[in-house]
């Protein structure tokens, strides 16, 4: 839900055009909340508050579009403020409970996504962190969104993420990288252990999304997937 498909644009009439296209192809729509300039764990309370309010609007739009789940990122602590990471976690906790409660009232489930290793400390980076918060919010409908490309940047095995989170996963994001940055490469062009991952995903009955940068990359990766799934 970033431009040109921001929640504001969708709420102001664009949603009908999007839904017409989706339905004309017999497809099902999923929505990912915006993440640029959003930080629900911000150490600056006005920024945290604004981020929560923007995501609440996204939840309202999702319900209007008859989409029952919204994927969210849970925020980060700046690299030069990492000594305050516990405060950032407290801010994240307050935001997640508020958002999950709000979403539940609208019949929308929150999908909590793991993030990649970067200079700032992402607060949902490792599978144990993700499991903790999805478990805490499960009665409000929360589920895990496992981004295996992000997992591949952490130094932990993406297969380990699958094993730890399996019973909570509602959506999987697939893209490749070389283990050091979030590159969103076509499958097979990085170090993601595809054989092990795709064998396991073949047993998954939820949503699997290819997050790639071009139609060519999408087609290339989709062809590879057909060998496994």
Which tens digit of pLDDT belongs to each residue from 167-208?
999 999 999 999 999 999 999 999 999 999 999 999 999 999
Residue 74, Cβ density class (10 Å: 0-12 exposed, 13-18 middle, ≥19 buried): buried
* Cβ–Cβ under 8 Å, residues 21 and 51: no
Token pair recorded at residue 113: 């996504």
Measure the CA–CA gap between 40 and 77, rounded to whole angstroms.
10
210 beta partners:
174
* Confidence grade of residue 27 (pLDDT, cut at 50, 70, 90): very high
The answer, yes or no, to whether residue 229 has pLDDT greater than 90, is no
* Confidence grade of residue 58 (pLDDT, cut at 50, 70, 90): very high
Measure the CA–CA gap between 77 and 123, rounded to whole angstroms.
7
SS3 assignment, position 195: helix
pLDDT of residue 76: 98
Spatial CA neighbour of 165 closest among 132, 194, 208, 209: 132
Spatial CA neighbour of 152 closest among 123, 119, 187, 120: 187
* Cβ–Cβ under 8 Å, residues 61 and 10: yes
pLDDT of residue 228: 75
Alpha carbon separation from 101 to 109, 125, 134, 141, 202 (Å, rounded): 10, 23, 13, 9, 33
- Supply the CATH classification number for the domain 7-225: 3.20.20.150
Q: Write down the mean pLDDT value for the chain.
A: 96
pTM of the model: 0.96
* Over residues 134-151, mean pLDDT: 98
Measure the CA–CA gap between 70 and 62, rounded to whole angstroms.
7
Alpha carbon separation from 83 to 89, 103, 124, 188 (Å, rounded): 12, 32, 17, 38
pLDDT of residue 226: 85
Which tens digit of pLDDT belongs to each residue from 79-136?
999 999 999 999 999 999 999 999 999 999 999 999 999 999 999 999 999 999 999 9
Token pair recorded at residue 63: 């319900």
* Residue 161 CA, distance from chain mean position: 14
Query: At a CB cut-off of 8 Å and minimum separation 6, what does 62 contact?
Result: 31, 68, 69, 70, 106, 108
What percent of the chain clears pLDDT 70, i.e. is strictly above it? 100
The answer, yes or no, to whether residue 227 has pLDDT greater than 90, is no
* Over residues 158-173, mean pLDDT: 98
pLDDT of residue 25: 96
Domain boundaries, the chain: 7-225
* Cβ–Cβ under 8 Å, residues 104 and 140: yes
Measure the CA–CA gap between 115 and 71, rounded to whole angstroms.
12
């Amino acid at each position: 839900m970033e431009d040109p498909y921001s929640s504001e644009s969708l709420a102001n009439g664009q949603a009908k055009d999007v839904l017409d296209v989706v339905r004309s192809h017999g497809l099902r729509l999923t929505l990912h909340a915006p993440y640029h300039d959003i930080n629900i764990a911000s150490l600056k309370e006005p920024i945290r508050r604004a981020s929560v309010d923007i995501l609440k609007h996204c939840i309202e739009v999702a319900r209007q579009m008859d989409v029952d789940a919204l994927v969210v990122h849970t925020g980060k602590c700046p690299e030069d403020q990492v000594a305050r990471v516990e405060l950032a976690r407290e801010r994240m906790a307050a935001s997640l409970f508020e958002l999950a409660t709000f979403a539940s009232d609208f019949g929308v489930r929150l999908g909590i996504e793991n993030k990649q290793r970067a200079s700032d400390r992402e607060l949902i980076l490792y599978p144990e962190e993700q499991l903790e918060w999805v478990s805490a919010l499960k009665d409000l409908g929360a589920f895990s969104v496992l981004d295996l490309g992000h997992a591949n940047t952490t130094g932990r095995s993406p297969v380990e993420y699958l094993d730890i989170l399996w019973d909570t996963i509602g959506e999987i994001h697939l893209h490749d990288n070389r283990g050091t940055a979030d590159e969103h490469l076509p499958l097979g062009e990085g170090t993601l252990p595809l054989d092990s991952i795709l064998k396991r995903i073949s047993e998954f009955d939820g949503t699997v999304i290819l997050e790639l940068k071009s139609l060519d990359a999408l087609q290339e990766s989709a062809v590879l997937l057909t060998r496994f799934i």
